[in-house]
Chain A
Amino acid sequence: MNMKKLRGIIAALLAITVFVAYSFYTGKLLMPKRTEYGSTWDSFLCEDRNTIDVLVCGSSLVYCDVIPAEIWEETGITSYSAAGPEQTIPISYYCIREACRTQTPKAVFLEVTGMYYDRYQKYTKVNLGYMPWGENRLAATFSAAEDREVPGLLYPLYDYHYRFFDITADEIKKNAAPDTTDILAGYTLLTQSNKMGDISYKAVNEDAGNYNDNLQYAAKLADFCSDRGIKLFLYLAPTKSRIPAALQDKMMDDLGKIKGAVVVDFNKNIDELGIDDSKDWYDPLHFNLYGARKFSSFLGSYMLSAGITPGGRANGELWSERAVYINSK
C-alpha cells in the first residue's frame, strides 16, 4: 500500500473516530440528568460492585414504594430500586440483565403490574436512553422500543441536539460532573398525602398478543435468574386501583406456571401493613413516604422469611448514611 493511500485511510479513520467520540460525549452532555423518578443508571453504576443483595425492578410502583434504606435498616439486606416510569416487562428484563453486569444479587423482585401495560408506554426514551451502552441496550432498543424512538436511542444527539440552543452553563456543569451514588438507592421520595377510599378496578390492555409477549419475557427472566442462581419473585404491589380480579387471577396463574419463579400478591397483605388510607397514599397506585416505609419494612421481613439473607458485602458507611437520610424525612 502506498503512502498516499495509507494517509487517506488514516485521515478517514481519524475523522470517523473524532465524529463518533464527539457524538457520544456531546449526546451524554446534552441529555438531561436524571436523579429521581426512576432510570437512574448513572447512580446505580456508582454502587460498589457485587454489594447489592436484592434488585427490585419494575415501574413507579417500585421506585415510589420500595425504600432500600428501610429494608437495610430492618434486615441488613442491601437492595436497589432499579425501576423506571411505566417500565414495561421487556424493558425490565433487559434492565435486570444489565444490572447483573455489575452486581450479583441473591434475588430479583419484579413488580408485574406491567403485564397489562401497552406494548409501548410513554417513557421508552427515558427507560432505555439512560441504560449503559452494550448488548442489553441494543437488544432492548430493537425489541422493546417503538420504531420512532429507535433513532434517538441509537444516536442520542438525534433527540437532544436541540439543547445546544438553550442549555445553560449550570446544566453543562451538572451533566459533566462525575456521577455519585444515590442517597435513596433508586427510591423517589413523595411526602404528599391523599386520602383514599375504596379499592377500584382500572381498565387495562387485554390484548392477548401483548400479554403473551410479556409472559415470554417473564419466563426469559426466570431462565436468566435460574442460570445465575438468583431467586426470582414476581410480585404485585399493594394498590388502591387494581387490575380487574379475573384478569389478575389469570395473570397470577400464568406467572405461577413459570419454572423457578415465586409469585406473590402483596395486596393480600395490605391489612398486615397497617396502611392508613388517610395518610399513607400519594395516589391510588403509589404509597407516599409513610406508606412506603411500612411496605418496605414488610418487604424486608418477607425477604428474610423467603430465605434471603444479608450478603455482608455492603458499604456500611454508605448504607448508614442512607438510613440516617431517610429517617430525617
Chain B
Amino acid sequence: MSFTSINFILFFAAFTLLYYLVQGRIQKYLLLAGNYVFYMWWKPAFGLLIFAGTAISYFCACAFDRGLWGRKKFWIALGAVYTIGVLFVFKYLDFFCGSILGLLGVAYGHSMKLLLPVGVSFFTFSVAGYLFDVGKGKIKPEKNFADYAAFVSFFPTIMAGPIGYARNFLPQLKTRHIFDLERSKRGLLRFVFGAGEKMIAADTMAIIVNTVYADAASFSNGSVLIAAMAYSLQIYFDFAAYSSMAIGAADILGFSVMENFDAPYLTRNIKSFWKKWHISLTSWLREYIYFPLGGSRKGRARTYINVLIVFGVSGLWHGAAVTFVIWGLLNGLYQVAGEITLPSRKKLRAALKIPEDGRLLVLWQMLLTFLLASIAWIFFRAGSVSQAFYLVGRIFSILTSGFGYIDPSSFGLMKRQAIVLAVFLLPYLAADVMKALRKPLPAFEKTDFTYWFIILLLMIFIVSFGIYGQGFDPQDFVYFKF
C-alpha cells in the first residue's frame, strides 16, 4: 500500500482507532498484525521472507547472548550473513553474475528476474544494525519475540525508512501507548505535509524530468540542466515526503523515529550535504562500515579510501547497476576532493579577504553544492552509463556553447501547473530555511483554528493540484525501488 493511496488511508484510520481502543499487551500484538497486513498487502509471500529474517536474527542474537555451542561472534556473523545474503540474492545476484561473466567475456542470458521485495534494503539494514549492536554489547538481545518482530516489520518505516535502530525503537514497545491528542495532531500535520510534498512537488517535478530524459537530444543544454536540477528536487521531495509521512504516521501511533532530512540543499559542501541527506542511512554506514574500517583514525590516505568505500557501498545499496556505483563514488570523490582542497581554498579566500561566513560565499557554496549533487544525481536517474555521461557532457558544454533556447512550454507542464508548483514550494522552502537556521518550526498542533486551517489548505491543494487519479501518472515513491 502506498501512503498516498485510498487503501492506506482507510487501513490507517481503522488501525489507529483499534490501536487506541485495545488494552494492555493486545496493542503490541495488534501492531504486529497490522505490520504484516500492511506488508503482505503488496505480496503475501514476502511476509514469509520478513518472518524468516526476523526469526533467524532473533535466534542468532539470543544464541550469541547465551554463547550457544560455546560460540558467540559466530552467531552474529551467521545472522548477518543470512540477512545480507537475502538482500544479495534478491538485489545483486543477477548484477554480479552478469558483471563477472561480462568480465570473462561470457554472455549472461539467464537473468533470474527475482521480484525485489519492497523495502528489503531498509529492513535488512535495521536487522543487521541490531545484530551488530548486540555483538558489540551496545544493547542486550531482545527476549520478547513479538517486540522484536514489531520492530523489524514496523509498517510506517518498513518500505522506505527511516532505517530503524533497535536501541531507539525497542524501548518504545515496552509500554502501552495512550492516545495523545497533540502528538497525533503533530503527526497528522506531518503526514499531510508529506503527502503534499509527494503528490504536488515531487510528482510535478517528475513531469519535467521524464519529458527531458525521454528525449534529451531535442532539448537545449540549458533545458537539460533544468531537468537535472528538477530531478534533484524531485528525489528530495519524493524521499523527504515519504519520510515525513512515515514519521507522521509513527507519531500518531506514539512512536518516535529519527529524522531523515535536515535541509540538505542548504548546505555549504558535500560533506555537510551527506550529514543532512538520508540521515538514517548515512548514520548506519558511518557506524557499521566507516568506523569499523578505521574511520579517520588511520591517516589521511586511509580516511579517503574509507570514504570512497562507504560511498561505493552506498551507491550499491541504492541499486544493482553501474550507474548507482558511479553515483556513490562520485559523491565520495567530491568529499575527498573537498577535503584535499580545503586548506588551499581557505588560503585563497583569506588572500582575497572573503569572509568565511559571508553571505555571498555561503550562497555561492550552497549553489555549487546543489550543482555538484545535481550532476551526481544524473547517474542516479539515467537509464545507462552512456546516457548519464551524455547528459553530463551536455551540461558542461554550456561553458562552450551556452544554454541554448529554453522553451518553458516544452517541459510538459501547463502554465497554471508551473505557477501552482512555484507557489506550493514556498512553505517547504521556508521550512527548510528555518531548519538550516536552526529556528524551531511553529508548533501548530498547539493551536486549534490555525492548525485545522493549515490542514484544510494543504488538503485543498492536494486534491486540486496533486498528481493522482485517472488521466495522471502518479509516480511510485522513488525509494520503493530500494
A and B form one complex: yes
Interface residues of A (CB under 8 A from B): 4, 7-8, 10-12, 14-15, 18-19, 22-23, 26, 148, 151-152, 157-159, 161-162, 164-166
Q: Which residues of B contact A162 (CB under 8 A)?
A: 469, 471-472
B428-482 residues with Cβ-Cβ distance < 8 A to A are 448-449, 451-453, 455-456, 459-460, 463-466, 468-472
Q: Quick one: given A151-B469, A158-B469, A159-B470, are A164 and B449 in contact (CB under 8 Å)? A: no
Task: Please name the residue on chain A nearest to B449 by beta carbon.
Answer: A11
- Tell yes or no: B414 within 8 A of A by CB: yes
A159 in complex: contacting residue of B420, B455, B471, CB < 8 Å: B471
B contact face: mostly helix, strand, loop, or mixed: helix
- Closest A residue to B5 by beta carbon equals A151
Number of A-B contacts (CB under 8 A): 57
Which A residues lie within 8 Å of B452 (CB)? 11-12, 14-15
A–B pairs, 16, beta carbons within 8 Å: A8-B181, A8-B448, A11-B452, A15-B455, A19-B460, A152-B469, A157-B463, A158-B468, A158-B470, A161-B466, A161-B468, A161-B469, A162-B471, A164-B416, A164-B465, A166-B414
Contact of B6 with A by CB under 8 A: yes
When C-beta atoms are compared, the residue in chain A nearest to B181 turns out to be A8
Max chain B Cβ within 10 angstroms of own Cβ: one of A12, A23, A152: A12
Residues of B within 8 A of A158 (CB): 468-470
Q: Are A164 and B456 in contact (CB under 8 A)?
A: no
- B417: interface (CB < 8 Å): yes
Q: Which residues of B sit under 8 angstroms from A7, Cβ to Cβ?
A: 448-449
Which residues on the B side are within 8 Å of A26 (C-beta)?
A: 464
Q: How far is A15 from B465 in the complex, measured between Cα atoms in Å?
A: 19
Q: Roughly how many angstroms separate A67 CA and B470 CA in the complex, as a whole number?
A: 35
Q: In the complex, which residues of chain B have a beta carbon less than 8 angstroms from the beta carbon of A157?
A: 463-464, 469
CB contacts (< 8 Å) of A151 on chain B: these are 6, 469
Q: Which residues of B contact A (CB under 8 A)?
A: 6, 181, 414, 416-417, 420, 448-449, 451-453, 455-456, 459-460, 463-466, 468-472
**Quick one: which of A8, A161, A166 contacts B463, CB cutoff 8 A?**
A161
Known: A7-B449, A148-B470, A158-B469. A18 touches B464 (CB 8 A): no
Q: For the complex, would chain A's binding face be called helix, strand, loop or mixed by DSSP majority?
A: helix
With a cutoff of 8 Å between Cβ atoms, the chain A residues found around residue B6 in the complex are 151
Interchain CA distance A15-B450 in the complex, whole Å? 10
Instruction: Kindly state the separation between the CA atoms of A4 and B453 in the bound complex, as whole angstroms.
Output: 16
Chain B residues whose CB sits within 8 angstroms of the CB of A152 once the complex forms: 469-470
A-B residue pairs, 5 tightest by C-beta: A15-B452, A11-B448, A165-B414, A11-B452, A158-B469
CA of A148 to CA of B452, assembled, Å: 31
Interface centre among A4, A15, A26 (most CB of B within 10 A): A15
Besides A148-B470, A151-B6, A159-B471, 20 other CB < 8 A contacts?
Answer: A8-B181, A8-B448, A14-B449, A15-B452, A15-B455, A19-B459, A23-B463, A151-B469, A152-B469, A157-B464, A158-B468, A158-B469, A161-B464, A161-B465, A161-B466, A161-B469, A162-B472, A164-B416, A164-B420, A164-B464
| A22–B181 CA distance with the chains assembled, in angstroms | 26
* Nearest B residue (CB) for A148: B470
Q: Which residues of B contact A18 (CB under 8 A)?
A: 456
A contact residues around B459 at 8 Å (CB): 19
Q: Which B residues lie within 8 Å of A23 (CB)?
A: 463
Given A18-B456, A26-B464; A159-B469 close (CB under 8 Å): yes
B199 to chain A, nearest CB (A): 11
Complex Cα–Cα for A158 and B6 (A): 11
Say how far B10's CB is from chain A's closest CB, in angstroms.
Answer: 12
How long is the Cα–Cα vector from A151 to B420 in the complex, in angstroms?
A: 24
Bound together, the chains give a CA A161 to CA B461 distance in angstroms of: 10
Contact A15 B470, CB 8 Å, known A23-B463, A164-B465: no
Chain A residues with Cβ below 8 Å from B463 are 23, 157, 161
In the bound complex, CA of A12 to CA of B448 (Å): 8
What chain A residues lie within 8 Å of B420 (beta carbons)? 164-165
A4-B449 Cα distance, complex, nearest whole Å: 11
- Docked Cα-Cα span, A258 to B453, in Å, equals 56
> Which residue of chain B is the closest to A5 with respect to CB atoms?
B181
CA distance A185 to B452 in the complex (A): 46
Distance A152 CA – B460 CA, assembled complex (angstroms): 17
A22 closest partner in B (C-beta): B460
Complex contacts, B451 vs chain A, CB 8 Å? 11
Residues of the A chain whose Cβ atoms lie less than 8 Å from the Cβ of B455: 15
**CB proximity of A239 to chain B, nearest CB, Å:** 32
Can you name the residue of chain A whose Cβ is closest to the Cβ of B414? A165
CA distance A311 to B142 in the complex (A): 81
| Cα distance, A157 to B464, chains bound together (Å) | 7
**Residues of B with C-beta under 8 A to A166:** 414, 416
Complex Cα distance A7/B181, Å?
A: 14
Residues of B within 8 A of A165 (CB): 414, 416-417, 420
Of the residues B414, B453, B466, contact of A15 by C-beta under 8 Å: B453
The chain B residue sitting closest to A164, CB to CB, is B464
A183–B205 Cα distance when bound, in Å, is: 47
Q: How far is the CB of B191 from chain A (nearest CB, A)?
A: 15
User: Knowing A161-B463, A166-B414 touch, does A15 contact B469 (C-beta < 8 A)?
Assistant: no
Tell me the complex Cα distance, A23–B471, Å: 18
Chain A nearest Cβ from B366, distance in angstroms: 32
